[in-house]
């Protein structure tokens, strides 16, 4: 596992999200260690130059001399392409395993998309909700509607979104 600075700077990302993500990685690392399992973990180091996932993988392949690299399918095509290129450079097979965090596989969407003239994720989501009985009441969506998008499509006034009036103190506080 690697805290690659490039992954936090490749696209704009909220600092709180970055901190949460890295914290989650470190907690997972600690959990793996507590189970007595081996783990190789690269932690961010401010004193070093910015880091890229590809560089960590190249270094680890050189040091560990694996016969194959196995990963859970990355959620970003750019990351999967990078890992694939590094493995190809080093003459190694990259075994990409399905990510079990999702209710469906990429093939489910490919099957849905096949022979359609246009794609709207809304219709795929409906299929998945039916298939997995998510937010459904028998064969109808909970609440009676698949979504409430049309309720959210009105234009904002020229003055911008309304802001609630801040609460006003009605009594003076007494400090003892």
CA 65 to the chain's CA centroid:
29
68 vs 52: CA distance, rounded Å: 20
Q: Does residue 168 sit within a domain?
A: no
Per-residue confidence of the chain (176 residues) as pLDDT tens digits? Answer: 999 988 888 778 888 999 999 999 999 999 999 999 999 999 998 777 878 999 999 999 999 999 999 999 998 899 999 999 999 999 999 999 999 888 888 889 999 999 999 999 999 999 999 999 999 999 999 999 998 887 777 788 888 888 777 777 665 655 54
Neighbours of 69 (CB within 10 A): 19
Contact 94, 87 (CB under 8 A): yes
Q: Which domain holds residue 36?
A: 1-46
Alpha-carbon span 44 to 2, nearest angstrom: 8
* Dist CA 52 CA 44 (whole Å): 11
Judgement on whether residues 89 and 69 belong to the same structural domain of the protein:
yes
User: Quick one: 94 and 67 in the same domain?
Assistant: yes
165 domain residue, yes or no: no
Q: Does residue 99 contact residue 75 with C-beta atoms inside 8 Å?
A: yes
């Amino acid at each position: 596992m690697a805290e690659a600075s490039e992954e936090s700077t490749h696209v704009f990302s909220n600092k709180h999200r970055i901190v949460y993500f890295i914290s989650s990685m470190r907690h997972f690392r600690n959990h793996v260690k507590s189970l007595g399992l081996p783990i190789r973990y690269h932690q961010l180091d401010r004193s070093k130059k910015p880091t890229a996932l590809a560089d960590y993988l190249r270094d680890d392949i050189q040091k560990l001399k694996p016969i194959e690299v196995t990963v859970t399918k990355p959620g970003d095509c750019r990351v999967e392409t990078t890992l694939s290129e590094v493995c190809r450079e080093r003459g190694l097979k990259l075994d990409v395993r399905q990510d079990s965090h999702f209710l469906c596989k990429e093939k489910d969407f490919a099957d849905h998309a096949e022979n359609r003239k246009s794609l709207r994720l809304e219709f795929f989501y409906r299929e998945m909700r039916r298939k997995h009985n998510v937010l459904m009441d028998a064969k109808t969506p909970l609440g009676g509607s698949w979504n409430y998008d049309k309720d959210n499509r009105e234009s904002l006034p020229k003055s911008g979104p309304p802001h609630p009036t801040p609460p006003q103190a009605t009594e003076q506080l007494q400090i003892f």
